[in-house]
A and B are shown apart, each in its own frame.
Chain A
Amino acid sequence: MYAQMVKTEAVRPLDEQSPQERAFQQRIDRGEKIEPKEWMPEGYRKTLIRQIGQHAHSEIVGQLPEGNWITRAPTLERKAILIAKVQDEAGHGLYLYCAAETLGVSRDELLALLHSGKMKYSSIFNYPTLSWADVGAVGWLVDGAAIMNQVPLQRCSYGPYARAMVRICKEESFHQRQGYDIMMKMAFGAPAQKAMAQDALNRFWYPSLMMFGPSDKDSVHSTQSMRWKIKINSNDELRQKFVDQTAPQAKYLGLTIPDDKLAWNEERGGYDFSEPDWSEFYDVLAGDGPCNKERLGARVKAWDDGGWVREGLMAHARKRET
């Protein structure tokens, strides 16, 4: 998802856990929220920092592919909408960084880990946005996939993360709908516009499916996270839900999902579909996607170029205090 392949530890049998760890697990099983200053296993804390940090980084880096189109939006209204959307993404990143910081990591540490490549952001933002239709496809598919993951996370066990998710989900629906609105305009427009919409769907379909992460049978990190309720659904479950929801939406647009195997399976009550090319996913995660260097480069440059502003404002504040 926005957090993919988050490393965690292997599940340990009950008799190997300390009484404190067992009591902690029981609190989670009872549906209690864990709050910042309370005792928590080190693994829970570390996994959450990785997951929330990666989620925050994704929101921030996710501004870049769309920000690319702000100056070239086709109308003033579309431009205002896109600015509002990109500003929301910045806000989502900030909510999430704050949630991560309650676990005892600083904002600067998190950013340093992103900039050095030690922490990741979602693979999806390493793909380029080549046409205006891509902005529609990102809202419709990428934000649509994000919602699938974020709605259940509102119930996750860590209080600050759950509360950040509540705020984010309230705003996310606008993102998806404005994307679909762009897709409708394009798909029902001139043949050239429709072709652009189809091209955007062709390029963003499989990368969107990859957002959910590898199949559960290959996902080594899920079990403990699900026990801790910081991951609520399995990757395959969410991916299936996403395809089931999206296929009829594509049909309404008169666009074709680029998958010959896509077909309704009456027996299962869901769509059959092809898996994405997972070797591509691992390449993108390892840094070899189409835009990895550009995206991270833009973040590092923004951080470096902003250094004098951060320091100057802090120096000013200190001077005024004394």
Chain B
Amino acid sequence: MSSEWPLWEVFIRGQHGLNHRHVGSLHAPDAALALKNARDVYTRRNEGVSIWVVKSNDITASSPSDKGPLFEPANSKIYRHPTFYDIPDDVGRM
């Protein structure tokens, strides 16, 4: 039986209250050791205040070939951006 440890994805929240962000991956036998390893591999210089680890196999990802159907519809919907609307200067800050 292969003893290769499963792959985990590592997410870290930085100092300033932002979202956890994917920083990389690592191998570990279980979640507890994945956290410990993530600390050593990805936070040697105070990069974070919180770590999430999740088994790579448990992530469902969109496929590159779906890029068009998934993301192109947003291109034409410029009315979703505030700059689409002209508001007269007289109205003041908005």
A binding-site residues for B, Cβ under 8 Å: 35, 37-39, 84, 87-88, 91, 94-95, 98, 101, 106-108, 163-164, 167, 171, 307, 310-311, 313-314, 316-317, 320
Contact = CB atoms under 8 A, between A and B. Distances in A.
Contacts of A88: 44
B33 interface: yes
Contact of A37 (B3, B45, B64): B64
B25 A98 contact: yes
Instruction: Please give me the 4 A-B residue pairs with the lowest Cβ-Cβ distance, nearest first.
Output: A317-B30, A313-B29, A317-B29, A311-B3
Nearest to A34: B64
A167 B64 CA distance: 25
Interface in B26-51: 26-27, 29-30, 33, 40-41, 44-45
A117 B27 CA distance: 24
Contacts of B61: 37
Interface residues of B, number: 20
Contacts, number: 51
A316 B24 contact: no
A196 to B, nearest CB: 30
A311 B1 CA distance: 9
9 contacts: A35-B64, A37-B61, A91-B41, A91-B44, A95-B24, A95-B41, A107-B4, A171-B45, A317-B30
B76 interface: no
B7 to A, nearest CB: 7
Contacts of A107: 4, 27
A38 B29 contact: no
Contacts of B24: 95, 98, 163-164, 167
